[in-house]
Amino acid sequence: MPPNDQGPISVGIDIGSTATKAVVLTDRVLGQAVTPTGWDPKKAGLQVLDEALEAAGVAQDRVGAIIGTGYGRISLPIFTRRVTEITCHALGAHFLHPATRTVIDIGGQDCKVIALDEQGAVSDFIMNDKCAAGTGRFLQVMAASLDVSLDELGALAATAEPVPLSSMCTVFAESEVIGLLARGVEKAGIAAGIIDTIARRLHCLAGKVPLRDSVIFTGGIAQNCDICEKIAASLSTELHVPACPQFVGALGAALIGHEITTSFSPE
């Protein structure tokens, strides 16, 4: 059935510090798009909106609601409503996997643990957004210190026992990694130590919001299978990773838009 013959259409846009994502939704996902946020979150938001609508084959005047989330949600004036990424990640994860009771999300500048009730509502959460420790930015800096990509970092970490890193601070950890390399320590062990540092940070968060099954891992870092496996082993828990973990927040935003458009649609 062509999109124009379907029910109300909504769009969720998640403007994160590293990547901006959009999802076009009816009773299913029609299209999605992602682009680096760069220095202009407004431009990135409009770009993914256009690209996701094009992928869905939908004109913008067919969209009943556009919901914004992520740190850059204040940058665009087009949103029907703005919603926190905590709520959106919870809704998106519960939609994809109704048994979800915990969401772990590692974003570019923060990491968070979200507890859900049986209906997918947020019952508790904790967020590390005061420094880059345990975030995607931390991993990017550490990978650059080893002169490898994020994919290569995960693959390296999977092959070795971790070399302990004493610091979770990005600046001090980078200096520590450079020092280890200068002493001839193998990259693989350092890579495993870096992933362990992420897990330790999550351990700290999980001490305040305990992990309850099922645990969903979202965000761009979750696309790296090797990193997922290392973190799961370190946390001694099974992590479920959806097919497109980077889009879970945008999906949750689109679901809120769907509820709004459905409420105002004629029967």
Q: Judge if 123 and 57 occupy the same domain.
A: no
Percent of the chain as helix, strand, coil, to the nearest 5: 45, 20, 35
What are the CB-based long-range contacts (under 8 Å, 24+) for 35-38? Answer: 37/72
- The Cα 224–Cα 229 span in angstroms is 9
Element (H, E) at 96: helix 85-96
Q: Judge if 164 and 36 occupy the same domain.
A: no
Structure tokens at 23: 């999802």
- The Cα 254–Cα 95 span in angstroms is 11
pLDDT of residue 1: 47
CA angle 245, 151, 223 (to 5 degrees): 10
Q: Judge if 237 and 113 occupy the same domain.
A: yes
* Residue-level length of the chain: 267
- The Cα 62–Cα 107 span in angstroms is 31
Q: Which of 171, 97, 129, 153 is nearest to 16 (CA)?
A: 129
- The contacts of residue 225 (CB under 8 Å, 6+ apart) are 154, 241
Side chain identity at 194, as an amino acid letter? I
Range of the domain at 26: 10-84+247-264
Q: Which of 58, 60, 56, 57 is nearest to 46 (CA)?
A: 60
In a domain, 177, yes or no: yes
Tens-level pLDDT at each residue, the chain (267 residues): 445 556 789 999 999 988 999 999 998 999 999 999 999 999 999 999 999 999 999 999 999 999 999 989 998 899 999 999 999 999 999 999 999 999 999 888 888 899 999 888 999 999 875 666 667 788 888 888 889 988 888 888 888 888 888 877 777 888 888 888 888 899 899 998 888 888 888 878 877 888 898 999 998 888 888 888 878 887 888 999 999 999 999 999 999 999 999 875 544
Q: Judge if 64 and 127 occupy the same domain.
A: no
pLDDT of residue 231: 83
pLDDT of residue 51: 98
* Number of independent structural domains in the chain: 2
Residue 128's CATH number? 3.30.420.40
In a domain, 93, yes or no: no
- The Cα 21–Cα 180 span in angstroms is 37
Q: Judge if 59 and 147 occupy the same domain.
A: no
Q: Judge if 26 and 59 occupy the same domain.
A: yes
Q: Judge if 109 and 40 occupy the same domain.
A: no
Q: Judge if 205 and 168 occupy the same domain.
A: yes
Q: Judge if 180 and 50 occupy the same domain.
A: no
In a domain, 14, yes or no: yes
pLDDT of residue 264: 59
In a domain, 3, yes or no: no
Q: Judge if 136 and 235 occupy the same domain.
A: yes
Q: Judge if 190 and 252 occupy the same domain.
A: no
In a domain, 172, yes or no: yes
Q: Judge if 60 and 138 occupy the same domain.
A: no
